[in-house]
Amino acid sequence: MRTVYVNGEYLPENEAKVSIFDRGFLMADGVYEVTSVLDGKLIDFAGHAKRLERSLNELDMPHPEVLPDLLEVHRELVRLNGIEEGMIYLQITRGAPDDRDFVFPDPETTTPTVVLFTQNKPGLANSPAAKKGIKVISIQDQRWARRDIKTVQLLFPSMGKMMAKAAGVDDAWMVEDGAVTEGTSNNAYIIKGNTIITRHLGNEILHGITRAAVLRFAQEAQMKVEERSFTIAEAQEADEAFITSASTFVMPVVEVDGVAVGAGKPGPVAERLREIYLDESRKVAM
């Protein structure tokens, strides 16, 4: 039985309740963040907190009173649930007005809903998938245009995961105008020679916190980084490929649309980047 956080209270998960009029439930009018926990400490928390604030601002969503204290809330949930390796999910919605309406509720009378819960995942850092790599298919990107905002509008990414499952692979890379945007819940990369290639930042992709850290570590390790679009054909001809996210860290991709990438197994650059990311992130974990 987990202890969760709902609007200022720490509660057993079976006692947690949110109104049926909450706009996150009715309108997907909410934002979220997922922070990894390794060795009982939070990974990249400052980056997640900064992106959360940006998402709120982009949607003109009121800042909840607890916003400055979220670090302590995260730490308390880690303590209460005894999390050594796992995740903390945070969701903020525009709140629960008296009735359903497309118009935003008055922020003076409707306060944001804040929910957090933990997911215990022993062995997160030593995932067997990282040793064998994952396989992906390509699908058309049919999401809304503001993917840089981390909203709870996750229906199409969920459909993409199901398309991948039906195809017998691990995930899907979304394609728009002939170029890869990102994975269903991760940023996408290819490696050619000593160059790491990943899509440039913009409204088309999420500004990944793990992405930013990995690219910084790569440049510090004297690797070349090129931020530009790439195609599925380029990915199939690459030396290596990988994804990054808060839950997978750096995960090698060994097959794209049935074609082996490089040698068809995790390559040395992706493996090294994963090692560097985990080592450096642990040093500054909170």
List, by residue number, the catalytic residues: 150
Q: Are 118 and 88 in contact (CB under 8 A)?
A: yes
Number of residues assigned to the chain: 286
In the 8-state DSSP scheme, what is residue 122? T
Token pair belonging to 57: 């601002």
Contacts of 69 (CB under 8 A, 6+ apart): none
d(C-alpha 16, C-alpha 123), whole Å: 28
CA distance 225 to 216: 9
DSSP notation for 200-222: PPSTTS---HHHHHHHHHHHHTT
Identify the residue whose tokens are 């999910």.
Answer: 89
Residue type, 167: A
Dist CA 60 CA 24 (whole Å): 15
End-to-end CA, the chain: 25
Beta bridge partners of 190: 197, 241
CB atoms within 10 A of CB 149: 18
Which 3 state secondary structure label does DSSP give 136? Answer: strand
